[in-house]
Amino acid sequence: MQNRGITLWLLLLLHVPGLDSATWNLFSKSSTEPTQEGAVRLVGGKHDSEGRVEVYHEGKWGTVCDDGWDLAEAQVVCRQLKFPGVVSAVTGGTYGEGSGSIWLDDMDCKGTEKSLSSCPFKGWALTDCSHKEDAGVVCERGTDLTSDTAHFLDHSLGLSDDLGELFDRGDDCDFLIAIKSPTGNRDGEGKFEVEERNICTHKLILSLYSNFNITNGSSNLSLEISQACSPCVTSFIRYLYTRKIDVTVSSAQCLHKLASMFGVKRLMQDTGRLFTVLLPEDPSFYTQVSLYQYSVQTGDLLLQENCLQYLAWNCEALINSPAWSDLSTDFLMALLARSDLVVPDEGFLLQALESWIIEKGDSTGTKSQVALLGHIRFPMIPVEKLYDLQFTSELYRSHEKLYRVSMLRGFQFNALSFDTLRKHKSSESEEEHDYHPRIYTAEPWSITINSTNKEPPRQDIRYDYNRRYNNYQPYYPMPEYGKSFTTPNHNSLIYQTKETNPVSWSARVFKNQRECSRCISFPTASLSLQSSLRQNQTNSVRFSNRLLLTCEGRYVFHVQDFKNDMAQIPTNSSLALSYPCPEGQYDFRFVVRPEYI
């Protein structure tokens, strides 16, 4: 008994939490240990202390986008690779372009993290970058080896398997977890039957997790869990030993709940990402709203953002769903604060909010109604609809002061330049967000191109005479996935003059290299301005256009901006999409968004 206890202590002492899995080998520079999830390496540099940063995830090496890449992120990489410090953060593909996935984007490290993947970021493979933006670092090389140099040895990779075997065997377990689950059946006295079973664990392991409240005198814990989640408890406890677990869509919510209960944040975040698979499945939107409420209860900020983002992108469908009238005030506050709401126009959003307030009646107090209406961006409402509000709005009389002030801002927006409007407002004014557009899809601001994923048939091949070779050469006509359309040059009337209005746009989707030689991957979308703008407008207005991908005409599953008029489309096989959609079964919606600088 004593010897086995000593063995457990030795296993734990060998483990150094958070350190990289690289093994310093006296006889070889290469490690025979398998690469660990989240490991980093440097590629393409002249020295081993510099190069393009690559991260190991799901069995593959991928790169990091240089958006937001700075010394804090470089510091984490150099620390993870055991270098004494950082010299510089390198951007723009200095060390060549990588291949495969771009795993990380929009990093936000503090510089104190032990690994790059533990820093906040968008999510694995969620990016709009190309490999031309692969990030790199230059680390301090350190001093030459001397006789008293310390050499770090890390054999921690085997610890996970050893602790897993310890849990499976149950050797010298000293803490029992009693699992109680109601079966749904009643006994002879009419009481619900409860199924009980015990899991044998080690107090030393559980003491690493403060939410278990392990004390010196405690020896057991009773855990009441639903029948559906009961099978997941053993896997969850084993994860506490090994940091490894298989997660399925059906087990994700149970594991997420257990991780939330006991403060296992990393598991909670990673299982929360799997909920994105569930979000598109319910057209009634009750599941999505329920998941959001669950994320608020558990404090999972990542899951909250995933749910809110999906509901914002599909706001028009949400408004038309049966779940709209059941939404809470707090939920609407969070939703209306976002600029990535996809709706026909701001007037449509106001009308939907008014209907919600009227249906709720007195259950929503005047203060809450004013707060909700304060999130409507009245200057973004088309001026004709803005004028009609005093005659058509059912809430105009009960909130006349708010409507009058808000409508005045809308009329000022259409009559005055932004420089004039800004003279008497600070940049931190509560009204400042009123002048920023959401994603408006009503005509003429958007156009859709259907995706067929079909190559031109062979009979479309023509033969053109080539004078140089004195014969006919085959010529392959390019498939047309393009449309031209016009929009006003701004949604404010002050810029809609005859000289500059309307402006022309060309929207195209390129499917192969013949159509676009400079495209990195396919499909790639392009939205380019075909008209020239007056100088006074280019100095104060920019176009922050968006590309919306709609899956089978049912839901928006991805939104991204354009860089230099181009948008590289993520695919299920390369870059992970925000929400799942069958490969190629989507449409491209191009949205023009003029906004003040």
Q: Tell me, what CATH number does 127's domain have?
A: 3.10.250.10
Residue of higher predicted confidence among 363 and 467: 363
* Domain-terminating residue out of 187, 219, 245: 245
> Is 469 found in the same domain as 550?
yes
Examine the domain organization and report whether 124 and 186 are in the same domain: no
Rounded to an integer, the average pLDDT of 170-187 is 91
Better-predicted residue by pLDDT, 111 or 184: 111
Contact of 461 with 474, CB cutoff 8 Å: yes
- For residue 300, is it within any domain? no
Residue 150 has what pLDDT?
Answer: 67
Sequence-distant (≥ 6) Cβ neighbours of residue 380 within 8 angstroms:
345, 346, 410, 434, 435, 437, 438, 440, 491
What dihedral angle (degrees, nearest 10) is formed by the CA atoms of 409, 410, 411, 414? 120
Pick the more confident residue, 254 or 459.
254
**For the chain, what is the domain count?**
4
Are 449 and 590 in the same domain? Answer: yes
* pLDDT at residue 9 is higher than 80: no
Asked, for residue 266, whether it belongs to a domain, the answer is: no
| Residue 335 within a domain | no
Give the domain extent around 475.
443-596
Residue 205, domain CATH: 3.30.710.10
Q: pLDDT confidence of 331, banded at 50, 70, 90? A: very high
Evaluate whether residue 413 is within a structural domain: yes
Q: Say if 505 falls within a structural domain.
A: yes
17-31, 269-283, 380-394: range with lowest mean pLDDT: 17-31
Reported confidence tier of residue 585, pLDDT bands at 50, 70, 90: confident
pLDDT of residue 584: 67
- 447 and 554, same domain (yes or no): yes
Q: How far is CA 593 from CA 258, 312, 569, in A?
A: 43, 17, 19
pLDDT at position 571 is 64
Both 201 and 112 in a single domain?
Answer: no
Q: Which residues lie across from 137 on neighbouring strands? A: 51, 89
471 and 427 together in one domain? no
Using a 10 angstrom Cβ sphere, with 0-12 exposed, 13-18 middle and 19 or more buried, the burial of residue 102 is buried
Residue linked to tokens 């479309």: 460
Other CB atoms closer than 10 Å to residue 365's CB: what's the count? 11
- Domain co-membership, 130 together with 163: no
- If asked whether residues 384 and 241 sit together in one domain, one would say no
Shared-domain flag, residues 447 and 589: yes
Identify the pLDDT of residue 500.
Answer: 64
Tell me, yes or no, whether 75 lies in a domain: yes
Q: What is the mean pLDDT of residues 453-479?
A: 41
pLDDT higher at 495 or 47:
47
Top-confidence residue, 439 or 152: 439
Share of the chain above pLDDT 90, in %: 58
- Average the pLDDT over each of 36-40, 76-80, 463-467 and give the range with the smallest value: 463-467
Question: Residue 15 — pLDDT band, cuts 50, 70, 90?
Answer: very low
pLDDT given at position 275: 87
* Residue 353 and residue 369 in contact, taking contact as beta carbons nearer than 8 Å: no
Domain stop point among 230, 245, 260: 245
Per-residue pLDDT band for 531 (boundaries 50, 70, 90) equals confident
Q: Which residue has the higher pLDDT, 32 or 318?
A: 318
| Res 493 pLDDT > 90 | no
In a domain, 522, yes or no: yes
Contacts of 477 (CB under 8 A, 6+ apart): 456, 460, 461, 462
Strand 50-57, strand 60-64: pairing: antiparallel
Of the ranges 12-16, 390-394, 540-544, the best mean pLDDT one: 390-394
Segments in 51-191 forming alpha helices (H): 71-80, 157-169
Q: Which of 213, 245, 277 delimits the end of a domain?
A: 245
Per-residue pLDDT of 212-221, as tens digits, reads 988 888 899 9
- Please check whether residues 429 and 450 belong to one and the same domain: no
Residues 489, 428, single domain; the answer is no
Would 11 be classed as within a structural domain? no
The whole model's pTM is what?
0.70
pLDDT band at 274; cut points 50, 70, 90: confident
Whether residue 538 sits in one domain with residue 475? yes
Distance CA 129, CA 568 (A): 8
